[in-house]
Chain A
């Protein structure tokens, strides 16, 4: 199943926040089935997509991540009955906030991936990686200097 590795000048950094019941297991299945996908993603495993705090995403962008994936169980499949509904609702509210923060919403991907959807997982990663590669690096946050820095009293020299 191996793909030809083509090296690009720019390899985006992508962070995925996933629930451990569905998406993480789906990604494990991709491994057990020896599928091949872009190596650009790093995962943070959480109990439920409802545990994903919007601030995690901001933090990730602040660290110079170029794109973020949020993924959990399909609606109705949540291990905790309703956690993913909260995640979805929060995501809707949060998108506006991110927009306001000046983050291109194209850099945030939200998708449901079940424990059986290994193929979907690899597709989401591959497509999203390509998309971010097109968009280029996300420097806005990493390069930002603290606008209040000059107000701060310098430590005694």
Chain B
């Protein structure tokens, strides 16, 4: 026989005004299993809690109901008090007779009757509450960062400076991401490389940060506090620890291909570092294009390397590391193929790389018959960059001439439900304004036109920046461009000015498209690999759009930067620091405690239909083999990982054999509640 204590709270007059608490206590006391009742003015006060604890001890109670305010208010308070008194906290339940009774009804008779019902339902339920223990899990205090753009760099430094060891997995040979490509940055026009590269050096020198460049995450197992990552280190064909980065090899290498870092606007050697300030400064051989690997010719780099660190036989290495938390910072790319709409031109970084003899390392680029001089924003950044293919002089790709007239087109692919994406890419207004300035500073007599839909410049100093661009000679035309076509060596831009209603034709030397920012091609694959969710575009979803903007849908995995949604650098950095601080919070404890209200499986009963596995939103259920003591296979059964289970109970509902139960909300508990009132209503 249960020994349940029922404590009815008057809450001053809040409950007592419309509920006869003494009557509720008395009637509840008559229920089977109830051994002790109290009717008290303020249960949550210090004396109230003392009384509660004393009653548990004196009467040896094995469960308690507190009929009082909402469980949101004081469930934790009374569970803690019960624990102090030696009663399992999960044997305490709250009957909500304030928010859901005394405060919403005026008639004392009715409210009292309802309070009795509510209390009775909880008493019945309590009889089936099992004592539960909170799960304690160790935490591996080591963080994994995927992506080495500015987001990954910032998060790594924040964590490492808080004494947390970090590994960065970056798939390119160098850190830096897209920010390394930028020339100068809005709204201050400071040089991107000048602010980025010192950070990269800091990362490479930090004793607590290890960089796995030219690497990819293959698999992530485990759960918050206890992840195991399988990382593939692609063969660089260079012995990293011996390489001094002297540059002999990449200077002597006789073969070149299009340089992805310069968006195909220049050539790079086959053994290469993406850009001079690369971190780490270790070259890799692009095996697809290296004649040594294609037809066993050349091998010059091995001959010129003073350190003897070229190794053509190197294999990919797969390593496993343990982490307690993961920050995803895989960034963005620009929408490909928007060029098609404007003349069928494919951006060079989308064309298959071709092996060409070393011609000129820079412009011009020849793609006969196409609108070569229609470029995207990142290509313009490279043209304007002092370390870019033209040394910072703005020259057009086709013939290397200085463009006298440049047309910038905003919202290419953005805010376009038909041909592009619905969202606003947010940064293009700003960088287009920046581009007009960079152009004007470079080509003083040049003419620039900006076709735009609206100007969106919501940021500190942003509107001022746009004003500055407009006052510096850029001609802003509100309207859309309908067609680009070739006219001699120029591009004929046909459009309309929607303010004046006039059609407009401009003969431009170069056209720059502010193409939409979209997620990386493999973003969905990465999401599936990590078990996090993503939105309809492929940006990773945050746990809550307002209150948890850096948590992913999976515990212990956080998001930073443009992989979560379009962002400029300040926002990216802020989110990266926020993600790092979340990890610090997680690592500030020696052990993680998880509420025990998770699903458990009756292995004997499980009939392997795997419905629960399909339905679980957190991939918390695995299939396991049940073996006997001799290790012989008996059967398959579902198994819940309490580290991943969030306690939604979907599995419990779908399980036809009733083999999986959600602790705290078992069928028995719910049925007990339903059957409590046997017509004892109102």
Q: Given A37-B104, A46-B665: A15 and B653 within 8 A (CB)? A: no
Q: Given A42-B117, A46-B649: A28 and B100 within 8 A (CB)? A: yes
Residue A90 interfacial (CB < 8 Å): yes
Taking a contact as CB atoms closer than 8 A, the residue among B104, B647, B650, B662 that contacts A86 in the complex is: B650
| Distance from B104 Cβ to chain A, minimum over Cβ atoms (Å) | 5
Interface size on B, residues (CB 8 A): 46
User: What are some 14 contacts across the A-B interface (CB < 8 A)?
Assistant: A32-B99, A35-B104, A39-B101, A40-B682, A42-B677, A42-B681, A44-B674, A51-B665, A56-B671, A59-B675, A63-B679, A64-B679, A79-B648, A81-B533
Interface string of B62-74 (1 = CB under 8 A from A): 0000000011100
Asked whether, in the complex, the Cβ of A11 is within 8 Å of the Cβ of B682, the reply is yes
Asked whether, in the complex, the Cβ of A11 is within 8 Å of the Cβ of B662, the reply is no
For B648, the chain A residues whose CB sits under 8 A away are 47-48, 50-51, 79-80, 83
Asked whether, in the complex, the Cβ of A28 is within 8 Å of the Cβ of B70, the reply is yes
Residue B678 interfacial (CB < 8 Å): yes
Asked whether, in the complex, the Cβ of A83 is within 8 Å of the Cβ of B617, the reply is yes
Asked whether, in the complex, the Cβ of A48 is within 8 Å of the Cβ of B650, the reply is yes
Tell me which of B100, B615, B667 has the highest count of chain A C-beta atoms within 10 A of its own C-beta: B100
Residue A88 interfacial (CB < 8 Å): no
Taking a contact as CB atoms closer than 8 A, the residue among A5, A13, A36, A83 that contacts B104 in the complex is: A36
Query: Which residues of chain A (35-80) have a CB below 8 Å from chain B?
Result: 35-37, 39-40, 42-48, 50-53, 56, 59-60, 63-64, 79-80
Tell me which of A43, A64, A81 has the highest count of chain B C-beta atoms within 10 A of its own C-beta: A81
Give the CA-CA distance A51 to B598 in the complex, in Å.
13
Asked whether, in the complex, the Cβ of A63 is within 8 Å of the Cβ of B677, the reply is yes
For A145, the chain B residues whose CB sits under 8 A away are none
Residue B111 interfacial (CB < 8 Å): yes
For A31, the chain B residues whose CB sits under 8 A away are 70, 98-101, 103-104
Give the CA-CA distance A32 to B69 in the complex, in Å.
10
Give the CA-CA distance A27 to B673 in the complex, in Å.
19
For A122, the chain B residues whose CB sits under 8 A away are 104
Give the CA-CA distance A83 to B653 in the complex, in Å.
11
Give the CA-CA distance A122 to B675 in the complex, in Å.
25
Considering the complex, give the chain A residue whose CB is closest to the CB of B121: A42
Asked whether, in the complex, the Cβ of A5 is within 8 Å of the Cβ of B674, the reply is no
Residue A34 interfacial (CB < 8 Å): yes
Residue B436 interfacial (CB < 8 Å): no
Give A contacts to B, CB under 8 Å: 2-3, 5, 11, 13, 15, 25, 27-28, 30-32, 34-37, 39-40, 42-48, 50-53, 56, 59-60, 63-64, 79-83, 86, 90, 122, 142
Give the CA-CA distance A52 to B670 in the complex, in Å.
10
Asked whether, in the complex, the Cβ of B650 is within 8 Å of the Cβ of A39, the reply is no
For A40, the chain B residues whose CB sits under 8 A away are 681-682
Asked whether, in the complex, the Cβ of B670 is within 8 Å of the Cβ of A56, the reply is yes
Asked whether, in the complex, the Cβ of A56 is within 8 Å of the Cβ of B674, the reply is yes
Residue B114 interfacial (CB < 8 Å): yes
Interface string of B236-253 (1 = CB under 8 A from A): 000000000000000000
Asked whether, in the complex, the Cβ of B649 is within 8 Å of the Cβ of A48, the reply is yes
Asked whether, in the complex, the Cβ of B682 is within 8 Å of the Cβ of A51, the reply is no
| Distance from B15 Cβ to chain A, minimum over Cβ atoms (Å) | 11
Residue B652 interfacial (CB < 8 Å): yes
Q: Given A13-B682, A44-B673, A51-B662: A5 and B98 within 8 A (CB)? A: no
For A42, the chain B residues whose CB sits under 8 A away are 114, 117-118, 121, 677, 681
Asked whether, in the complex, the Cβ of B104 is within 8 Å of the Cβ of A30, the reply is yes
Residue B213 interfacial (CB < 8 Å): no
Asked whether, in the complex, the Cβ of B682 is within 8 Å of the Cβ of A80, the reply is no
Asked whether, in the complex, the Cβ of B653 is within 8 Å of the Cβ of A32, the reply is no
| Distance from B74 Cβ to chain A, minimum over Cβ atoms (Å) | 13
Q: Which 8 A-B pairs have the closest CB atoms?
A: A31-B99, A51-B649, A80-B648, A31-B103, A13-B681, A28-B99, A50-B650, A48-B648
Asked whether, in the complex, the Cβ of B653 is within 8 Å of the Cβ of A51, the reply is yes
